[in-house]
Structure 1
Amino acid sequence: MQRKDVETELGKINFVYRKGEPLIVCLNGFGSFDTAQSFLKIIDSLPENYGIFAPDYLNSGFSGKSLKGYTIADEANELASIINTFKAKRVIILAHSIGGVYMMPMKDKINNLKAFVGIEPTTREIILNPPKEAAYIEKSKDMEKLEDQIRADLSNILTPEENKDFWDTTEQNVQKFDEKDNQNAQAALENDSYWKNDLKLDDDITSVLITEEYRQKEYKRSEYASKNSKVVSLGTYHYIHFEYPREIANIVKDVAE
């Protein structure tokens, strides 16, 4: 695995990569975690001949500060251009949370995109009109315990050295960015046209949507569902890849066959 910087009109984008087939594009959730570290145990469970592309978003991770105002679609276009330089014959996007929103504008720009695996990708519904069912209300109360649960799960799947490196890296990257940078990242999310359009995943793209059991119906009616999609119930909270990395790797291998 190698790490590289690419200068774009929006700012410096940093990514971890290795060449291979198929190319697995890892798209992270919103926040300070480095993408390659977040998907580390999934990557470790994939065949070594698989290619990997794991970028950090602007204003986060090892990437740089944004140089001007931008939207998720703007950044997604830059990422798609980088992905196409790998000239992969098959591309599979593996996205967590807001990574799904990044996937949508880039899906028509990536050459040879074959499949999408979403780990609770952010839906328009959950942002614009959250379901009122009791399970959603109860789950929202658990947000205060989120970091404790993340720390517990990472200590289970990572070695002590990997775990220390994960949190040291996260803290160092947080120090790089100030409140203005955080606001720029938030504005890119809020100002994106995605929330106002009806863009859906194409029916010729295979999709597997991994979610907690209580959100299954939401994903079956979501923009990520296609004629070639299925919903898989797994995990007990939003960071399912920190609970079940091997199981998710197996799903990626299944769609790659």
Structure 2
Amino acid sequence: MQRKDVETELGKINFAYREGEPLIVCLNGFGSFDTAQSFLKIIDSLPESYGIFAPDYLNSGFSSKSLKSYTIADEANELANIINSFKAKRVIILVHSIGGVYAMQMKDKINNLKAFVGIEPTTREIILNPPKESAYIEKSKNMDKLEEQIRADLSKILTPEENENFWNTTEQNVQKFDEKDNQNAQAALENDSYWKDDKKLDNDISSVLITESYRQKEYERSEYTSNNSKVVSLGQSHYIHFEYPREIANIVKEVTELA
């Protein structure tokens, strides 16, 4: 894949891409991981004819620091403009975590959006009114072990060279940003109007939601469901794409064939 920088009034957005049809838009979770590296093994399992767009958010990855205050909606508008510049006939959005909120903010602005595949996309419920079931409480107690599990999962799916490159790249990108940059990114999330509205996925957009089994009902009632949705239980951590990249790639291919 190739890389490119696009200058916007918010800052410089860097993305990895390749031309092709349909266009698979990969939207990462919140944090320091580069998007293209996060979705690497899914991308490797997709047909080479598929186009890929994998941007890094401002204040993360290979993108720059933000130049001014902004919200996720502001950044999503810039991303939608870049996506539309590819002039794809079919666009499939593949998200992880907070990438779902970006997708919801840009869904009405992307031309030819056909389907949505979410890997535990962030719901309003989990932020504003987290379920009180014991499974959620137990999972929250184990958050301190998350990086350990991520490292173990990545070591299984990446070659030693890929694994070393992943963590070296992550560390280098972390060093680019200071606490103020992290606060700016957090403010973009917290100040977004998304949390106050009731926007849902359009009924003409099919969606597949991939989640750990204990969150299945949360996603069945979430804003990411449409008239053509299904929830797939898979994985043992929030980073399911680090556990089952081939299975997720197969889901993306199935959705694409139906779109």
Report the TM-score range of the alignment, normalised by the length of the smaller protein. over 0.9
AA aligned to 2:243 is E
What SS does the corresponding residue of 1:21 show, helix, strand or coil?
coil
**Cα distance in 2 between the residues matched to 1:190 and 1:59:** 15
| Aligned equivalent of 2:220 | 220
| Aligned equivalent of 1:17 | 17
| Aligned equivalent of 1:5 | 5
| Uncovered stretches (5+) of structure 1, i.e. residues with no partner | none
Percent of counterpart pairs with the same letter? 88
| Aligned equivalent of 1:79 | 79
AA aligned to 1:159 is T
| Aligned equivalent of 1:32 | 32
**Cα distance in 1 between the residues matched to 2:19 and 2:169:** 24
Report matched runs for 1:84-233 at 5 Å: 84-233=84-233
Cα offsets for 1:88-147 (capped at 9, x unmatched)? 000000000000000001000000000000000000000000000000001111101000
What SS does the corresponding residue of 1:15 show, helix, strand or coil?
strand
AA aligned to 1:164 is E
| Aligned equivalent of 1:241 | 241
**Cα distance in 2 between the residues matched to 1:131 and 1:66:** 34
Instruction: Note the C-alpha offset of 1:161.
Output: 0.3
Instruction: Note the C-alpha offset of 1:200.
Output: 0.3
**Cα distance in 1 between the residues matched to 2:124 and 2:46:** 31
**Cα distance in 1 between the residues matched to 2:247 and 2:218:** 22
Report matched runs for 1:246-257 at 5 Å: 246-257=246-257
Please tell me whether residue 62 in structure 1 is matched to residue 62 in structure 2: yes
Cα offsets for 1:61-107 (capped at 9, x unmatched)? 00000000000000000000000000000000000000000000100
**Cα distance in 1 between the residues matched to 2:105 and 2:3:** 25
Question: How many residues are paired up?
Answer: 257
| Uncovered stretches (5+) of structure 2, i.e. residues with no partner | none
**Cα distance in 2 between the residues matched to 1:83 and 1:170:** 25
Q: Could you state the TM-score of these two structures normalised by the residue count of structure 2? A: 0.99
Instruction: Note the C-alpha offset of 1:221.
Output: 0.3
